[in-house]
């Protein structure tokens, strides 16, 4: 379906249902749009169509897709330019992007993957393969925690909110204690030396005594218990989950 006529009415139609996963399909070939949209709708997706990157940017002003399928070679605004502009939009930070490419030797899709695209598929497209890739990407998204949240059983840390919960109770931590805990918990089982903790929490230009780490660790244990943070004498500290 080309992006012509009353765009507002078009967007309103596609925002009526929030239950279905929304896919924005962007390609300049009408046959590809018809073929892929038929198969995607048959699989239960809500499909929004655009014929170039410029149309796609218009559409996302009113509709936030869960996933965008973006052809690389298009008139008006090609896939790479559209990709860069779409990734600049904060509201699309959770939207996944798959590239379509007909150029087997084109390195553009590799550059896109390096810059954060989620996948690419070469034309001619096999609908079953495309649907399988889409479902896999969306499934990973649904099962993942936001990057700034760490969860270990009943212990939950939220970096953006600077908050800690244990057994559904809020634990108030000063900034340094929170930073140490989040650092250790970000890589469970990995041993951090005192030098690494000093560098990442205090900074290389700040000098603190050897006892500072011990004091902060002791205070953390008083608040969250002794089970999470382990001491390796002469080496450093590590975080262990009870689960």
pLDDT tens by residue, 177-226:
999 999 999 888 888 988 888 888 887 555 556 678 889 999 999 999 99
pLDDT score for 243: 52
pLDDT score for 136: 86
In terms of DSSP bridges, do strands 169-171 and 22-26 run parallel, antiparallel, or are they unpaired?
unpaired
pLDDT tens digits for range 56-104: 999 999 889 999 999 988 988 988 899 989 988 878 877 899 988 876 5
**DSSP 8-state code for residue 145:** P
Phi-psi region of 177 (alpha: psi -120 to 50; beta: other; left: phi over 0): alpha
pLDDT score for 165: 93
The CATH code that applies to domain 7-143 is 3.40.50.2300
**Would you say the C-alpha torsion 218, 224, 229, 231 has a positive or negative sign?**
positive
Answer CATH for 149-239 from 2.60.40.420, 1.25.40.340, 2.60.120.10, 1.10.10.10? 1.10.10.10
Q: What are phi and psi of 92, to 5 degrees?
A: -100, 15
What confidence tier does 153 reach under pLDDT thresholds 50, 70, 90? confident
> Which pTM was predicted?
0.54
CA 68, CA 191: separation in Å to the nearest integer? 40
| Domain residue limits, the chain | 7-143, 149-239
Q: Name the average pLDDT for the chain.
A: 83
Q: What are phi and psi of 238, to 5 degrees?
A: -145, 160
Other beta carbons less than 10 A from residue 92's beta carbon:
17
pLDDT score for 201: 86
């Amino acid at each position: 379906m080309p992006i012509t006529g009353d765009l507002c009415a078009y967007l309103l139609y596609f925002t009526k249902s929030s239950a279905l996963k929304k896919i924005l399909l962007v390609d300049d070939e009408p046959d590809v749009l018809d073929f892929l949209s038929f198969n995607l709708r048959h699989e239960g997706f809500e499909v929004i169509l655009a014929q170039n990157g410029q149309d796609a940017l218009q559409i996302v002003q009113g509709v936030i897709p869960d996933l965008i399928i973006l052809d690389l070679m298009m008139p008006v605004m090609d896939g790479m330019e559209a990709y860069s502009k779409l990734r600049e939009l904060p509201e699309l930070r959770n939207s996944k992007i798959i590239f379509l490419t007909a150029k087997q030797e084109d390195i553009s899709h590799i550059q896109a993957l390096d810059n954060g695209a989620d996948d690419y598929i070469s034309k001619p497209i096999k609908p079953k393969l495309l649907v399988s890739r889409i479902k896999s990407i969306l499934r990973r998204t649904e099962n993942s925690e936001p990057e700034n949240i760490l969860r270990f059983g009943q212990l939950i840390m939220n970096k953006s909110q600077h908050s800690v919960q244990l057994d559904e109770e809020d634990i108030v931590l000063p900034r340094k204690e929170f930073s140490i805990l989040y650092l250790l918990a970000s890589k469970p089982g990995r041993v951090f030396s005192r030098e690494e903790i000093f560098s990442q929490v205090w900074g290389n230009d700040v000098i603190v005594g050897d006892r500072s780490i011990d004091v902060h660790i002791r205070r953390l244990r008083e608040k969250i218990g002794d089970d999470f943070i382990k001491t390796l004498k002469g080496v450093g500290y590590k975080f262990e989950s009870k689960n």
